[in-house]
Structure 1
Amino acid sequence: MIKRLIISGVTALLLLCGAEKVHASSYYWAPKTKINDVEVTVSAGPEIELPSAVNHDFEKSEDNLENEQNDNPIIREARKYLGVPYVWGGTTPHGFDCSGLVQYVYAHCGKQLPRVTTQQEHCGKKIPLDQAHPGDLYFWGFPGQTYHVAIACGNGKFIQAPAPGQSVMVSDVQFFRPDFAIRLD
């Protein structure tokens, strides 16, 4: 049951259930989620804090991104913000949400993108996940109803602003699989 909750993204329930180990890159945050016909609301307020023992599958280490991806200006820019806290609606290095991080990174590399995921997904051509290159965007959710976006780094890795109580991190599609990818125009 706990693994199912991790994948569904219900952080508050994990904490209430006393989960000892939370794989931060394995779940997403959703404002309202239904589990067994019970609606659970998770807020972005300061009352939600992950315990210090949280195990991130990928820490903010240089070893998580191959040297060849470090040459990509988008990845270099995104790496500057590893460790910045998640803030719902955040669009600055004081705090980012997922689409705020993407918008900010691309703006600093000279490409203006819209603010939210459902608009960002229309800024390029849909590509197969296995063809994503560093700088492409990964999306979670159905097209037109996406709820999360991240920057592809190559080799199945991506940089994301995951959820309240967490920080910008490098993650892997093995633990949090996107639904589709976009190559920007």
Structure 2
Amino acid sequence: MSHTAHIRSHRKPRRSASKIAMRAGVAGGVLSTLAVAGASGAANAAEPVTQTLELPTLTADVATQVAQSADATQQAAANYQLQAERDAAAAKAAKQAKSDLADAKQKAEAKKKAAQEAARKEAAARASRNSERTTLSAKATVNTSTSTSSSTATGSAAAVVAFVKAQIGKAYVSGATGPSAYDCSGLVQTAFKQVGISLPRVSQDQSTAGTQVSLSNLQPGDILYWGSAGSAYHVAVYVGDGMFVGAQNPSSGVGEHPLSYDPPTGAVRVL
């Protein structure tokens, strides 16, 4: 036996393989548990990250909606402004139309009043002429029965009377001086031209061309006029025996009529 056989070894006894394997298994289980816990912790920690990643998408949608809302608001404002402008234009047009209508009514009323006034004056003048004619008719009736004027024309007066009587039956045409048609003053002017006397062309001037004579002292060849001297509207030639020849109007033409047919206002003598 060795001299060292009785001395105890200072080395630690070796562990058995089974214990080592068991400890390794325990360690592995612990590590597995820690790995699972770590994985679970990692999974739980990842959830907030997932929510955070979704925020940009939500923010973009909101921005789009805000932009669209702003565009819609701007378009609505533009539409309101356009409508306001249209309403203002329509109101202005309506106001102008109302003003124009009022002016038109005022002018129409003024024309109506003017026409009524003209008609009233014409009626008054017509009534005055009719009154004068009625009075003159009565005078003419007396004058023709008591007149001392000559019924037989002589000299130049006879030539004038013969000429106007020769024109009886011819047409009345305004402005005509013969030989196929006459108006009232045209007939008188042409008749006196036959004896070398130049008379004015119109009845107003012919009514003052000679000496004024009374209707009760008429002689053949005297110029009769209707209306006042200087503003007469008709003339004819007295041919004697209470008769006159004149171009009366388009319907009767040149004809011979008694003084009572259309009593004259006055007379002038140029022969």
How high is the TM-score relative to the length of structure 2? 0.43
Query: Residue 175 of structure 1: which of 256, 261, 265 is its match?
Result: 261
Q: Map residues 38-117 of structure 1 onto 2, 5 A cutoff.
A: 68-69=152-153, 72-117=158-203
Deviation at 1:69, TM superposition (A): 4.3
RMSD: 2.3
Moved segments of 4+, more than 3 Å: 33-36, 67-71
- Amino acid in the other structure paired with 2:236: A
**Alignment coverage as a number of residue pairs:** 124
Q: Is the 8 A contact 2:170 2:180 kept in 1?
A: yes
Deviation at 1:78, TM superposition (A): 1.1
Q: Distance in 2 between matches of 1:70 and 1:111?
A: 16
Q: Is the 8 A contact 2:208 2:229 kept in 1?
A: no
Q: Percent identity?
A: 33
Q: Is the 8 A contact 1:70 1:76 kept in 2?
A: no
Highest RCO, 1 vs 2 (Cα 8 Å, sep ≥ 6): 1
Deviation at 1:35, TM superposition (A): 4.7
1:143 aligned residue: 229
Q: Distance in 2 between matches of 1:175 and 1:77?
A: 21
Deviation at 1:70, TM superposition (A): 8.3
- Amino acid in the other structure paired with 1:130: S
User: More helix by proportion, 1 or 2?
Assistant: 2
Q: Which ranges of structure 1 fall in alignment gaps of 5 or more residues?
A: 1-32, 37-66
User: More strand by proportion, 1 or 2?
Assistant: 1
Q: Distance in 2 between matches of 1:91 and 1:68?
A: 26
Q: Distance in 2 between matches of 1:157 and 1:99?
A: 18
Q: Distance in 2 between matches of 1:131 and 1:137?
A: 12
- Amino acid in the other structure paired with 2:237: I
Deviation at 1:164, TM superposition (A): 1.4
Q: Is the 8 A contact 2:203 2:235 kept in 1?
A: yes
1:158-177 alpha-carbon deviations (Å, 9 max, x no partner) = 00000012221101111210
1:92 match: secondary structure: coil
How high is the TM-score relative to the length of structure 1? 0.62
